[in-house]
Amino acid sequence: MSRRRVAVALGVAALFAATFLGAAVDPSSASMSDDTDGGLVIPPGGGMVPPMHPTFALLNGDAANVLSSGRPVSTLTTCDRCNAACEHQGHGDRLGGSRSLVGCRGGEDLMAIKPVGPSVRKGKAPNPRPFPNPYLVGVGLGVVLFLSVLITGDGLGAPGAVQRIWAWIENLVAPQHVDTNIYLVRYAGGEAQPLNHWIVMLAIGVLIGGFISGLIGRRVYTEIVKGPLISNRTRLLFALLGGSFVGFGARFARGCTSSQGLTGSALLSVGSWVFMMAFFAGALAAAPFFKKLWND
């Protein structure tokens, strides 16, 4: 038993050590060798560094490149401004700051976009609608939270469901272990049914609600959402890593961004406001080290 615990502890230590080492290494270095997003493109004009992924030239009606730099632009930038994940040229190019000229696919009528590199996607390209105004969505989310508190006396949350599903699996595999673990025993010890809890129902609802919203917004399609400078593999690796930090942190803080952050803050819990500040501090502190993950 004790040897097993030591092994687990070592494993955890290794995971965290790897994480911090990984954080110190420039994330983009991992992406150099395994780019999967398409072939190299030598842009017209040549002499430039080949871009890492398919690109478009921005042409006006006279087939002249509209960018003063003349360089092709990435197809894989997720637009921060219009929130769309469509293939379009990032606002990063600025175009003299005139945002209206550069849009998502809706902007095609304004400007001819001619692919000069191989297209990533096969079949019909996704055509997502822009997201509604954040203040408006915030009010909607606040009303949902209010209704939850009003009707059930409890707020919103998610990792509890993950914890319970996991305790259920662990209980199937190693019931004795669950019964002797001081933490897991309350979820699945003895006769306890870990899945028989409202938070699991809430998670199922989130899945359904997210899907409905995605359908309305035409955003249901397989995609790896990532920054333009990293490969799919890098993104998924960091998603796994970030997820495990979040899972660990959420249990440590006894709540996640939804339960401690949203619900607890709305209920004026002192701990929840501490959580909010620590959360934003953690994310802001980490931001400079992971610039490559999210920026172009």
8 A C-beta contact, residue 32 and residue 108: no
Q: Could you say which residues in the range 157-186 bind other proteins, by CB under 8 A?
A: 157-160, 162-163, 165-167, 170, 181-184
Q: DSSP character for 49?
A: P
**Residue 263 interacts with other proteins (CB under 8 A)?**
yes
The distance of closest approach from Cβ of residue 164 to other proteins in the complex, given in angstroms and rounded to an integer, is: 9
CA pair distance 162, 168, nearest whole angstrom? 10
Number of chain residues interacting with other proteins (CB under 8 A): 136
Q: How far apart are CB 42 and other proteins at their closest, in Å?
A: 28
* Phi, psi of 115, rounded to the nearest 5 degrees: -70, 135
Task: Return the number of the residue (114 or 211) whose C-beta is nearest other proteins.
Answer: 211
Which token pair is 175? 């019931």
Residues 32, 53: Cα–Cα separation, whole Å = 12
- Measured distance CA(88)–CA(296) in Å, rounded: 14
Tell me: does residue 50 bind other proteins (CB under 8 A).
no
Give 52 or 253: the residue with its C-beta nearer to other proteins. 253
* Least distance from other proteins to the Cβ atom of residue 73, Å: 17
- Provide, rounded to whole angstroms, the least separation between the CB of residue 101 and other proteins: 14
Site string for other proteins, 187-226 (x = CB under 8 A): ----------xxx-xxxxxxxxxxxxxx--x-xxxxxxxx
Query: What residues numbered 22-41 form the site for other proteins, per CB under 8 A?
Result: 23
User: 117 or 264, CB closer to other proteins?
Assistant: 264
Among 28, 148, 189, 195, binds other proteins (CB under 8 A): 148
Instruction: Return d(Cα 34, Cα 211) in angstroms, integer.
Output: 32
Q: CB–CB of 262/145 below 8 Å? A: yes
* Sequence-distant (≥ 6) Cβ neighbours of residue 132 within 8 angstroms: none
Query: Which sign, positive or negative, has the C-alpha torsion 100, 106, 112, 115?
Result: positive
Instruction: Using the rule CB under 8 A, give the single segment among 40-48, 49-57, 60-68, 286-294 that binds other proteins.
Output: 286-294
Nearest approach in angstroms of CB 151 to other proteins is 6
Backbone dihedral angles phi then psi of residue 171, each to the nearest 5 degrees: -70, -30
Q: Which of 139, 174, 175, 193 binds other proteins (CB under 8 A)?
A: 139
Other C-beta atoms closer than 10 Å to the C-beta of 68 total 10
